[in-house]
Structures are given as C-alpha cells and as structure tokens.
Structure 1
C-alpha cells in the first residue's frame, strides 16, 4: 500500500463523510487534511471529531490539553499533529517555552505541566500499567484521579490521528506550515 491509497477527499469524492466535513468546518474553520484522509473511513473521522469535542468538556484546561496532545504526538513521532497542535496550542495560550520543550522532548519548567507530560508518557510507554509512585507524583503535582482518566481520553484521541497520519501520509495544511516539525531519526 502507498499513501496514494488514502486520497485527500472532499464532499464529491466521499459524500458519506459530509457530516464529518461539516463538523470539521464548524470546529476548525476549515476541513483539515487529517479529516480529508480519514474520510476514506467516515466513521473514523466522526469518532475523531466526537472525541475532540468530548476532550473540551474535561476538567483539563486548554494548556493542559495542549500539553497532552503534543506529548502523545511527540511520542508517536507524528509530523502532522506536531505542526497542528503547535499552532493550535499557541492559539489557545500554551506558552511558547512549553511548546518548544514538548517539540524537543525536553522537560517543561512548570512542575504541574511536567507531571502531566510524565504521566502521559508513562501511560503510553507502560500501556496503562503505571506504578503507584508515578500515579502519586501526578496527584502530588495537583492533578486529580479524574484527570488520570481524562489523560486516557487524550491518548485515545491522538492515537486515532497519529496512526492515521502514519499510514496515510497526511500532508501538513498550509495554515500550519510555519509549525512544521520532523521526527528525529
């Protein structure tokens, strides 16, 4: 298979994905290339957009959400999502030094955000089998048990998009070109 097997759909090539295109347009002000690629499987596009909506309803503030989305995308080495969430992170107020740290896989100076990053990484690396010391460090930094579960939601959301971008070769959208990122080899 090649990336060409996953075209950048529009409403005429994937009419069954129209609801997802409308949802993306309403959410992002455009239909990102990610959704155009996902339109080969409209249910995936709808699931991604729905989970994105649900993440907004969590107790995680926009900066914490941005940290999670960039942490997972960095771990999965997703060029597309690193560009997308660097751009949207800046738009939602994630401090520049935090975005740079996440892009470079460096510690974040803010202890609460660093604990969030470390917990998310541990969840991914250990497939959810995070030891009690790691869980306690997360709680001691000021997070809640409910937020542990909300981290799982963010990991699930980004896994859908990161894996799609890996197999579909999603090109970075023009509005996020300035945030282009390439995974280290």
Structure 2
C-alpha cells in the first residue's frame, strides 16, 4: 500500500516550509491535509493559495461552506466533510443545513438549496450544465460572478478530496466531533 508521510516542520521538504508556516499562522496548527500535501510542495501551496482566493469570493461565508460541503459530499471525502462541517458551524451556518449537506438531502433555505443543487450538478456534469441549470441558480438570487466562484470551489475541493482519498488523511483532533462515516458518493442532483 502506498503511504504518504504526514510531515511536520522538521521533516517537510524545504520547498513546503513556507506553506507549512502559512497553515500554522492561519489555523493555529498545521492540518493533516497540509502535512500530507507537503509531499508535493506545489500541491500544498496551490491548495492554500486557492483557499485564500476562495475566502474572498462574492459568496458569503455560509454560502462558501455550502458549496465546499456539497462537493466534498458528492466526492465522499470524510476528511473534508468533517473539516467543513466544523468551519460551517464557525461561519454560523445552521445545524440543520450542515446536517442536510452531510446527508445529501435538501436544505430548507431555498437560496442555499439552489446553491447546493447547482454545485452538485457542476460536479456531476463536469461543468456541462444545461441552460436551465444555470438559470435556476441565477433565479435563486445568484449572479454570473458566483457561477465562477462555484467553479473555484469545485477546483479547490477536487484537489483536497482526491488527495485525501489517496492519502487516507486522518482527521485532526479538532475535527473528531465532526467525523463523517458516509458511504458511496452522492447520486446525480
């Protein structure tokens, strides 16, 4: 079985050191995701760079977490579902909405549900959305900038979801209360 090293600041490749420090500054510790991605310094740097860009999109913090959880749920990534459940709670997304995302079921809030559906369709259809798919998203109160923001979310989570699948990234202690033991990826939206 292929094994990734989950580096610390002493064992990480020199090229990953700045990214490890950036993660420590941002989170107060270096998450296992970044520790594992440090095997490929470019991957670790790319992920954190995209994460920083995504935090400054036109989506609200709650909407950002809806999109990230929708992608992670579709891809069945237990690490990212735990991480973004915790972050969504910190962003004051309702517990009901978080649980709906974890369970792959509709969110009661119509605008957030439109975002969940659009994001899931974006992943499922690999970007080949029908005009009706995009129009439903726009009709819910989003705009074309937010279409792009969702594409950024999909790209960012694809990096982490796929890495976590291969590396079998263990949860960080802070995420243990948010552990997710789902099964197969979600079905089509």
Q: TM-score, normalised by structure 2?
A: 0.95
Cα-to-partner distance string for 1:101-153 (whole Å, 9 max, x where unaligned):
00000100001000001111111111101001111100000000110011000
Can you list the C-alpha shifts for 1:5-31, whole angstroms capped at 9, x where unaligned?
201111221142111111101111110
| Distance in 2 (alpha carbons) for counterparts of 1:61 and 1:27 | 19
For the aligned residues, what is the CA RMSD? 0.9
Q: Which residue of 1 aligns with 2:187?
A: none
Moved more, 171-180 or 22-31: 22-31
- The number of residue pairs the alignment matches comes to 183
Once the two structures are TM-superposed, the CA of residue 43 in structure 1 deviates from its matched residue by: 0.6
Partner of 2:74: 75
Rounded to whole Å, the distance in 2 between the matches of 1:179 and 1:57 is: 25
Instruction: Note the residue ranges of structure 2 that are not aligned, 5 or more in a row.
Output: 185-189
Moved over 4 A (4+): none
Alignment map for 1:140-155 (pairs within 5 Å): 140-155=139-154
Q: For each residue in 1:33-80, what CA deviation from the matched residue of structure 2 results, as whole angstroms up to 9, or x when unmatched?
A: 000000000110000000000001110000000101100000000000
Alignment counterpart, residue 9 of structure 2, candidates 8, 11, 31: 11
TM-score (norm 1): 0.97
1:62-101 correspondence to structure 2 within 5 Å: 62-101=61-100
Q: Deviations over 1:76-111 (max 9, x none)?
A: 000000100001110111111100000000100001
Equivalent residue, structure 2, for 1:58: 57
2:167 matched residue in structure 1: 168
